[in-house]
Amino acid sequence: MGRNSSSFLKSLSGQILLILTILVSLGLLNLYSATHQLGVKAILFKKQLLWAGMGFIFLFIINFIDYRKFYFYAYHIYIATILLLVIALFFAPRLMGARRWLPLGPVTIQPSELAKLVIVIILARYFSDSETPSQDLNSFLKALSLTIGPVFLIALEPDLGTALIITILFGSLCVISRVNNKVIIGTVLISCFLSPLMWQFVLKDYQKARILGFLFPQKDPFGIGYHILQSKITVGSGQLFGKGFLKGTQTQLRFLPEHYTDFIFSVFAEEWGFIGCITLLTCYFLLFLTGLRVCKKTTDTFGFLLASGITAMLFWQTVINIAMALGLLPVVGVPLPFMSYGGSAILTNFIAVGILMKIGRRKLIGG
């Protein structure tokens, strides 16, 4: 028994599970500190604890499913997700100015979070079906047509952060799938050309305010620049070793807004300091590195693209969230994987990591 456990921990799947457990534990500890003085919202920690427990159950179940099943049911899953997004857009109750959350009995789900993983699955299926060594303009446009529907529906909710992540995942998988460089460069140039039109006719006023707050936070420190300035102050106040667990003044005195979602990293930085942040970033780095090792090990195209897309999904969410907290990017509402509060987000990430583990175990179990 001990030898089997040792063998599993030495495997890629075992290493992923160990890193995941550490990240989830740090996330729960940090969330407790961020919410324990919020009165009725203190229950958020208990909810996240329940979601994390469900996540490990999903992780366990996924490891008994051949990941190639996702290839065969990719389009079914995609269509079901589109339907959920449509239902959310037209029938979900409006909360905080958006229609993102579908009530299912005592819980609510956010289809847009699931859409991140689904877009990875459908694009992995689509690109793996191509028998050519590189993808041409026609292949790119077909992949774009699969992506633009979810992005459009999510942007209408509105949820700019998730729409941005899905767009970046599309670009990442295009690069990984070897879409012709001329097509990629042309798309980037067209996007730059259209950006003024998007600013004028697509972005809502509060989204424009977030971008302006990022570019000129000092011009309105108590308005559009407040979030970024307070986050930077919170991160900097942690200094080298941090103020200690439950002792972050910016957090506990509620100067930092959205501190249990968008700015959860700032809470961690204040209480655990630079040393704690390096430890956390090392955990994320090891997770991404192990994901890349799974990609390298995988022999079938679908498994390679699926593992690559999942690793990219976790990577980009982490980079964008931390960059937001440091004032390096505008605030776009991207959660930090396994740290930010959110049931749909953490379940989606658990399922994604479960699939990654399954891909990593394929040879081990003789699949």
Q: What is the mean pLDDT of the segment spanning 96-117?
A: 86
Identify whether residues 293 and 366 lie together within a single domain.
yes
- Based on the domain organization, do 184 and 241 belong to the same domain? no
Q: Residues 195, 249: one domain?
A: no
Greater pLDDT, 94 or 65: 65
Residue 2 has pLDDT above 60, yes or no: no
Q: What is the mean pLDDT of residues 312-323?
A: 97
Residue 365's pLDDT is 40
End position of a domain, from candidates 177, 203, 229: 203
Listed as own residue / partner, the contacts of 320-326 with beta carbons closer than 8 Å and 24 or more positions apart are 320/161, 320/164, 320/165, 321/262, 321/264, 321/265, 322/265, 322/281, 324/228, 324/231, 324/262, 324/263, 325/231, 325/235, 325/262, 325/263, 325/265, 325/266, 325/269, 326/231, 326/232, 326/235
Residue 221 is assigned to a structural domain of this protein: yes
Token output for 76: 């079914």
How far apart, in whole angstroms, are the C-alpha atoms of residue 192 and residue 6? 51
pLDDT of residue 220: 58
Residue range of the domain that includes 44: 14-64+217-367
Is residue 244 domain-shared with residue 361, that is, in the same domain? yes
Which pLDDT does position 154 carry in this prediction? 94
**Residue 285 lies inside a defined structural domain of this protein:** yes
Q: Where are the beta strands (DSSP E) in the chain?
A: 102-104, 107-109
Average pLDDT for 84-112: 86
Mean pLDDT across 47-59: 96
92 and 142 in a single domain? The answer is yes
State residue 318's pLDDT score.
98
pLDDT, residue 222, reads 58
* Domain endpoint, select from 151, 179, 203: 203
Regarding whether 116 and 172 lie in a shared domain, the answer is yes
Q: What share of the chain has pLDDT > 70, as a percent?
A: 89
User: Has residue 63 got a pLDDT over 50?
Assistant: yes
- Tell me which residue has tokens 């990984």: 176
DSSP structure class, residue 116? H
Cis before 158? omega within 30: yes
- Report the pLDDT value the prediction gives residue 66, as an integer from 0 to 100: 93
Phi–psi pair at 11, nearest 5 degrees: -80, 165
Residue identified by tokens 């229950």 is 43
Whether the CB-CB separation of 340 and 264 falls below 8 Å is answered with yes
Q: What is the structure's pLDDT at 62?
A: 94
Does 36 reside within a domain? yes
Closest by CA position to 154, among listed 103, 208, 118, 107: 118
Mean pLDDT of the chain: 88
Long-range contacts (CB closer than 8 Å, 24 or more residues apart) made by 221-228 = 226/257, 227/257, 227/258, 227/262, 227/263, 227/331, 228/324, 228/327, 228/331
Same domain for 181 and 280: no
8 part of a folded domain: no
76 domain-assigned: no
- The structural domain count of the chain equals 2
Q: Which of 95-109, 118-132, 237-251 has the lowest mean pLDDT?
A: 95-109
Pair 252, 306 in one domain: yes
d(CA 226, CA 219): 10
What does 153-197 look like in DSSP terms, one character per residue?
A: HHHHTT-HHHHHHHHHHHHHHHHHTTB-HHHHHHHHHHHHHHHHH
Q: Confidence class of residue 192 from pLDDT cuts 50, 70 and 90?
A: confident
- 28-32, 102-106, 175-179, 259-263, range with greatest mean pLDDT: 28-32
Q: Does 168 share its domain with 247?
A: no
What is the C-alpha separation between 108 and 71, in angstroms, rounded?
Answer: 28
Angle, in degrees to the nearest 10, between helices 181-201 and 137-156: 20
- Which stretch of 143-147, 161-165, 212-216, 323-327 has the lowest confidence by average pLDDT? 212-216
Whether the per-residue pLDDT at 43 is higher than 50: the answer is: yes
Q: Tell me, what's the pLDDT at 226?
A: 78
Residue 149 lies in a domain: yes
Q: For position 185, what pLDDT does the model report?
A: 86
Query: Is 314:288 a contact under the CB 8 Å cutoff?
Result: yes
Among candidate residues 203, 234, 252, the one where a domain is terminated: 203
Would 74 be classed as within a structural domain? no
Query: Minimal CA–CA distance to 291: which of 172, 174, 128?
Result: 172
- Confidence class for position 217, pLDDT limits 50, 70, 90: low
Write out pLDDT tens, residues 3-32: 666 676 678 888 999 999 999 999 999 999
Read off the pLDDT band of 364 (50, 70, 90).
Answer: very low
CB 165 within 8 A of CB 317: yes
Give the three-state DSSP class for 64.
coil
Predicted local distance difference test score (pLDDT) of residue 110:
93
Which residue in 49, 8, 33 sits closest to 338, CA to CA?
49
Q: Are both 169 and 313 inside the same structural domain?
A: no
Query: Do both 127 and 253 map to the same domain?
Result: no
On whether both 51 and 143 belong to a single domain, the answer is no
Q: Is residue 269 part of a domain?
A: yes
